[in-house]
Structure 1
Amino acid sequence: MPSKNKLFRQIHIYLSLFFLPCALIFAITGIAYIFGFNQDIGLKEQSYKLIKHIEEGKEKEALIEYLIENNLTIPSNINTIKNKHKGISIGGIHYSASIAQTSKDEYTITLKTRSLLGDMIMLHKNKGLWYFSVLSVGFGIVLFLLYISGLTITLFANKKDRKKQFLVLFLGFFITIILACLSL
């Protein structure tokens, strides 16, 4: 049976490696968001006008029919979502199509295609389907475990520099708390 030290190192190494891509997504999108980029960075938006009488509740069918007739891409997910512009949308976070009534028998059809960074920011904000949400929650739990295992390896296995390690840990807490309080 491996020693506790070796066990904590193994846990630390393999969890770190597995969740590295997730960590990079959260780091890149968090930094981008702090610098003012949002999910609409690089967004390609196309709008079309549809003049047609559409029965109430038949907007989705009219939208899909319009897309087919005009050789436009139909989103893979055609479940409807009510949007904030009093219309409906179909699609996902990368590509979506929406239809909204602008006046009697007049509609605006909007197609949106996000960039890779925009997609990643939407995932960071938990706006996608549940699959990535499961990975994100797992990453949050593992991040906590990585710090516990890292502290265990560092503080208890390496006794030579213990005073310096506790000083750095204390400084990290102190500076984080001060800057957080000043930022509120």
Structure 2
Amino acid sequence: MNKNQLFRQIHIYISLFFLPMAFIFSISGIAYIFGFKQDIGIKEENYIIKQNIKDEEQGNFLLNFLKENNLSIPSNTKLFKDKKNNSINIGGIHYQASIAKINDNEYKITTKTRSLLGDLIMLHKNKGMWYFSVLSIAFGCALFFLYFSGLFITLFASKKNRKKQIYVLLLGILITFLLAYLSL
């Protein structure tokens, strides 16, 4: 196998492996540019509780409330504090439950279930678990390799239309940098 065939084979198989990632990032990126945020299509339910709950018992109270009311319990029940909303939360990016103190004897329990597009936008923004982040970094590295191998295949391995290919590459560079500069 010569180097051209090797580059083509590597290019093809890496492209096929990362095709789902390309779809996720392109769909979520385009949606985000058009103004859709992670809360698009979110299903939110709120419950007001009139009771005095000690700060250290809020997490257990939240879990018991979900169980007693036949509400979904998130797969991740590790408690974390959301300083922005001053609440205690459990769950992940798709489904989350929280409890927030309104006043001394009043609490608000909220459950949120994101839509598929909302989930994809959260993954795009690196808000998921670490293992998807690792795959995302691998995808970014693969893009560099895919474009490098694609350039190698078209500009150096294929002598047909080389001048046109170089002009298109230079035009792409010019337009990209011009529009990036004008957008700053």
Quickly name the TM-score band, shorter chain normalised: over 0.9
Q: Aligned residue for 1:72? A: 71
- Shift, 1:173, TM fit: 0.5
Q: Aligned residue for 2:139? A: 139
Runs (5+) with no aligned partner, structure 2: none
What is the TM-score with the length of structure 1 in the denominator?
0.98
CA distance in 2, matches of 1:160, 1:65: 70
What is the TM-score with the length of structure 2 in the denominator?
0.98
- Shift, 1:160, TM fit: 2.3
Give the share of equivalent positions with the same residue, in percent. 64
What secondary structure, in the 3-state scheme, does the structure 1 residue paired with 2:108 have? strand
Moved more, 74-83 or 142-151: 74-83
Q: Which amino acid aligns with 1:65?
A: N
Q: Aligned residue for 1:127? A: 127
CA distance in 2, matches of 1:41, 1:11: 38
CA distance in 1, matches of 2:153, 2:41: 43
Q: Aligned residue for 1:175? A: 175
Pairwise mapping of residues 29-178 of structure 1 onto structure 2 (< 5 A)?
29-83=28-82, 84-178=84-178
What secondary structure, in the 3-state scheme, does the structure 2 residue paired with 1:58 have? helix
Runs (5+) with no aligned partner, structure 1: none
CA distance in 1, matches of 2:54, 2:81: 17
Matched, 1:23 2:25: no
Deviations 1:100-154 (A, max 9, x none): 0000021000000000000000000000111110110000000000000000000
- Shift, 1:81, TM fit: 1.6
Q: Which amino acid aligns with 1:70?
A: N
Runs of 4+ in 1 over 4 A off after TM superposition: none
What secondary structure, in the 3-state scheme, does the structure 2 residue paired with 1:54 have? coil
- Shift, 1:66, TM fit: 0.8
Deviations 1:34-86 (A, max 9, x none): 11101011000000011121112111101001111111111110111211111
CA distance in 1, matches of 2:163, 2:73: 62
For these two proteins, the number of residue pairs brought into alignment is: 183
CA distance in 2, matches of 1:181, 1:170: 16
Moved more, 112-121 or 67-76: 67-76
